[in-house]
Amino acid sequence: MRNNSITSIRLILYFIFAVLFLAGCKKEDVKNYADIMTEGEMEAELTSPPHVPKPVGNRTAMKLKLNMEIKEQEGTMTDGVKYTYWTFGGSVPGSFIRTRVGDEVEFHLKNHPDNKLPHNIDLHAVTGPGGGATSSLVAPGHEKVFSFKVINPGLYVYHCATAPVGMHIANGMYGLILVEPEGGLPPVDKEYYVMQGDFYTQGEYGAKGLQAFDMNKAIKETPDYVVFNGKVGSLTNGNELTAKVGETVRLFVGNGGPNLVSSFHVIGEIFDNVHIEGGSSINKNVQTTLIPAGGAAIVDFKVETPGTFILVDHSIFRAFNKGALGMLKVEGKENQNIYSGTIQEGIYLPEGGTIQKMPGGSNAKAVIPKRTIEEKVKIGKELFGTTCFACHQSEGQGIPNTFPPLAKSDYLNSDSKRAIKTIIHGLTGEITVNGKKYNNVMPAQNLSDDEIANVLTYIYSSWGNNKTEITPEMVKALR
């Protein structure tokens, strides 16, 4: 009898606990933002990447009139490579949209009359059929208007959903829409818009000319390019993101796909806060965050030391061989309590003295045409962009303490034969360039005599170097 009483008491206590728990959950549940009444009307600010509109702050929910034009236009994928992008607002990714919960958006979607195809838009922030796609199919030269209320805070992808859906996304039709919570996101010093996408071209990476979309590669999920903001070098070569020591940086990062998952990482930084998949849950002290195709994340971090910080997809061959690489340049005073720089230099060869080599090519002899210096420079520039750029950077400036500069390089200008041998055979161990020591490994490059002559002629003709012309015969003599 006593045991039965104890059991009954326990059941009653469990029941009370459950009721209180559920009541507490209900009390803390989110507000029904669909019931919020809007006050006033305004034109929505739209921005092209990497820029974002100003924060919403404490403003009330409003009616936002949003005008977006679809444009099919030719652009540059990388030097010498063109691609016909399909865009929302003339950029890849499309225009950044910034709202707050409770806003009512009146969306005007216009299809430029010069376009060839109908398009629509599916916004993942929309609660409704097709995310707006069923109401927005628009032919060239026409406009569709539809409206929706944003009722869930977060960072969301939008994309075209016209058949074949994958093709429209693969051609660049994606972007981000931010729905800020009531009162806005916590303020930071700098905010930027970065979105990854994978592209499938009929030519291989770096193949010159206007490249068409390749459906077979897309179905097999074997992209030739994986890039940030629509092209190789969109966040380098003078387009770097910037900040100052002590500032907080927020990146709104999306992944348009259409296929690959992104392993987003900033080399030399740790994310203080990550809004997981763009939602309300926050993870802290994160090194790399997964962003699914059709997903997003918000990452915040404070920059506490100067330098160049590299944004990558840490599926790392995508970064250094397919284009998923950007830069954040931070200026300011060094803080040696956080990062000292090089304290000691030495040689470490865990694999012995063997120099890493690239895979060898065919032994077939090629006929090398006679080229003018101008032709060599043009070809060499394109080759530099696909072979040398990641380490030595767009203006030959290198990466401090890691890869030596090619610009105004005493090491190069004093001995052209040594430069040729370095490309043919590779280089390891300590060298001094412009008075600074570097100790790294450069693999031997699998380039023809003609390619080496062209890229070195370009390097010697650029960035204050001594304009030495390298010929294929000079290269052949040193093999």
For the annotated binding site for Cu cation, the residues are: 119, 124, 159-160, 168, 173, 314
- Burial class from Cβ neighbours inside 10 Å (0-12, 13-18, 19+) for residue 198 reads buried
Query: With contact defined as beta carbons under 8 Å apart, do 255 and 296 qualify?
Result: yes
Closest Cα partner for 383 from 452, 436, 443?
A: 452
Query: With contact defined as beta carbons under 8 Å apart, do 458 and 381 qualify?
Result: yes
Chain center to CA of 193:
9
- Alpha-carbon distance 272 to 268, whole Å? 13
| Tokens linked to 90 | 């003339």
Query: With contact defined as beta carbons under 8 Å apart, do 447 and 455 qualify?
Result: yes
How many other C-beta atoms lie within 10 A of the C-beta of residue 417? 12
**Could you please report the per-residue DSSP string of 139-156?**
-TT-EEEEEEE--S-EEE
Residues of each annotated binding site: 119, 124, 159-160, 168, 173, 314
Distances from the Cα of 242 to the Cα of 126, 313, 341, angstroms: 33, 19, 21
- Alpha-carbon distance 1 to 8, whole Å? 11
